[in-house]
A and B are shown apart, each in its own frame.
Chain A
Amino acid sequence: MKDFVLLFRQPGIDASRFTPQEMETYIKRWDDWIGGIAAQGRLNGSRKRLTQEGKVLKAGGVITDGPFVEIKERLGGLIIVKAESLEEATTLAHGCPALDLNGSVEIRPVMDEH
């Protein structure tokens, strides 16, 4: 089995617009979805969530507050899964809650180190 990175992109969420109940449901959907992958024994390491803020360093020492202003989707987090093929890893990505918010999952094989 090989490692694949699943990168979650979705529109920024304004957490303040969520009721606590909604927030709980939202978190639960993620937890249960990743729990399902873990239950298949396909999760490699734990889940990495990214906070909303960030910096981007560009040529010439230009620093901006993240790539968020220019693009619709932002990187929200990632997990590493184990799968036999890119197709199988893509199948694992189905049902990801990011998709429900018109986000996307990018599936990338991790290159073997030799």
Chain B
Amino acid sequence: MQENTLYLKELFQQEFVKMVAVISKQFGLQYIETAEDIVSDTFLQATETWTNKGMPENPAAWLYTVAKRKTLYHFRRNNIYTRKVLPAITNKEESIVPKEDINFSPQHIKDSQLQMLFAICTPAIASEAQIGLALRILCGFGIDEIAEAFLSNKEAINKRLFRAKEKLRTEQVSMEMPPEKELPERLQNVLHIIYLLFNEGYFSQTQNEVLRKDLCFEALRLGLLLTDYAATNQPETNALIALMCFHASRFTARQAGNDLPVLYEQQDISLWDTRLIHQGMLFLHNSASGNTISPYHLEARIAYWHCHPDNTPGKWQQILSLYNELLFMNYSPSAALNRTYALYKADGWEVALKEAEKLQLINNHFYSMLLGELYTHSNLPKAIQYFEEARMLAKTVTEKRHIQQRIAQLT
């Protein structure tokens, strides 16, 4: 029974996004909420019918048929179709007889989803709202799940999504691929959102492991969607996918602890997903064309080195120089901290401590932790003092407990 429920949940999640994309594509993004309602309604009917009569042979086809009927009925009945949609479609496609059908072919679904991805990643919407919309419209997440991922509540998420959809309407965002000359810039935005989505899952502070994993794999799926089209299958796209594969390969090893994430050096390497590592290598290889190097390229190569279980200074030298390069490109506190950690592993604590003290990342608990770690070699009381500071600054109970464990080891 449980397996069956899981299958249904998966089926609904998958098919929800496909149907919403196709219906929105045909009738326009301003009807995205109508599309969501129709699809939800379809699922409601499916649950009722299937419970009584059993599952149909091809559940997806069943859903498409019902959704199609409901959609056409809705638009005809509301007269929106003849007054607004019909002229728009006729005009756009320059055909006199509009298609009174909804196309659920695999190719059309894919096209519609890609266009939806670009539509959602319009610069008109704030990136947090873009992630929310992507989770709802492209990944089929429920409001509860989105709220949990963002450590927020249902009302706040509903409001955020509502405003974002409103924006799609008022800004008249269309579900089309951007024109060729705008594509590279828009692709940047799309990649950035996928990257944030992945990070949301990988570094998420929610306790829900299944949810975190789902977030990561949805981000990966969206990335892969981009590889089907020459215009979006760019070196940067491949670098981002490689980066996600490498990180995702350690997901299980990282979650193997009871409720604390397992630190890199304590991970059981046999839990690393070698299939994903190989996939990552393939995409990393593909990313090495053209002559631009992006932060994704550098981060992918860093993640690649982390998939080497050995702990040699040579490996850390490579990681260090990649972080140097990443910082030349753009500064971020986390890159600065990781760079200093790599320096520690490559050149020893004395060099790293000198550099660490220059960073002055006051009130950053990762910074206090790094200083604590570096002082364990020379000044234990000071090390403990920094770990205490880190514990005070840490934002979650989990992190605080993690740091407490480290303090206990030292005292």
Given the known interface contacts A28-B317, A31-B321, A32-B320, the answer about A38 and B358 at a Cβ–Cβ threshold of 8 Å is no
For A32, list chain B residues within 8 Å (CB).
320-321, 324, 343, 347
A65 and B43 alpha carbons, distance in the complex (Å): 78
Give 20 new A-B contacts, CB below 8 A, not counting A28-B321, A36-B358.
A32-B321, A32-B347, A34-B324, A34-B328, A35-B320, A35-B321, A35-B323, A35-B324, A35-B327, A38-B324, A38-B327, A39-B339, A39-B340, A39-B355, A39-B358, A40-B336, A41-B333, A43-B327, A43-B328, A43-B331
Question: Please, could you name 30 A-B residue pairs with CB atoms under 8 Å apart, sorted by A?
Answer: A28-B317, A28-B321, A31-B321, A31-B324, A31-B325, A32-B320, A32-B321, A32-B324, A32-B343, A32-B347, A34-B328, A35-B320, A35-B323, A35-B324, A35-B327, A38-B327, A38-B331, A39-B331, A39-B340, A39-B355, A40-B336, A40-B358, A40-B360, A41-B331, A41-B333, A41-B336, A43-B327, A43-B328, A43-B331, A46-B328
Chain A contact residue count (CB 8 A cutoff): 13
Across the interface, do A36 and B331 meet the contact criterion of CB distance under 8 Å?
Answer: no
Q: Find residues 312-347 in chain B having any chain A CB closer than 8 Å to their own CB.
A: 317, 320-321, 323-325, 327-329, 331, 333, 335-336, 339-340, 343, 347
Chain B contact residue count (CB 8 A cutoff): 21
A88 and B324 alpha carbons, distance in the complex (Å): 22
Across the interface, do B328 and A39 meet the contact criterion of CB distance under 8 Å?
Answer: no
For B60, list chain A residues within 8 Å (CB).
none
Q: Residue A47 at the B interface, CB < 8 A?
A: yes
For A41, list chain B residues within 8 Å (CB).
331, 333, 336
A40 and B347 alpha carbons, distance in the complex (Å): 19
For B329, list chain A residues within 8 Å (CB).
46
Q: What are the 3 A-B residue pairs with the smallest beta carbon separation, nearest first?
A: A35-B324, A38-B327, A39-B336
Across the interface, do A39 and B327 meet the contact criterion of CB distance under 8 Å?
Answer: yes
A32 and B319 alpha carbons, distance in the complex (Å): 12
Q: Residue B183 at the A interface, CB < 8 A?
A: no
A64 and B331 alpha carbons, distance in the complex (Å): 40
| Closest chain A residue, CB of each to CB of B360 | A40
For B324, list chain A residues within 8 Å (CB).
31-32, 34-35, 38
A34 and B339 alpha carbons, distance in the complex (Å): 12
Given the known interface contacts A28-B317, A32-B320, A32-B343, the answer about A38 and B328 at a Cβ–Cβ threshold of 8 Å is yes
For B320, list chain A residues within 8 Å (CB).
32, 35
A31 and B317 alpha carbons, distance in the complex (Å): 11
Question: Which of B333, B347, B355, B359 has the largest number of chain A CB atoms within 10 A?
Answer: B355
For A31, list chain B residues within 8 Å (CB).
321, 324-325
| Closest chain A residue, CB of each to CB of B343 | A32
Across the interface, do A36 and B355 meet the contact criterion of CB distance under 8 Å?
Answer: yes
| Closest chain A residue, CB of each to CB of B340 | A39
For A36, list chain B residues within 8 Å (CB).
355, 358
A58 and B274 alpha carbons, distance in the complex (Å): 63
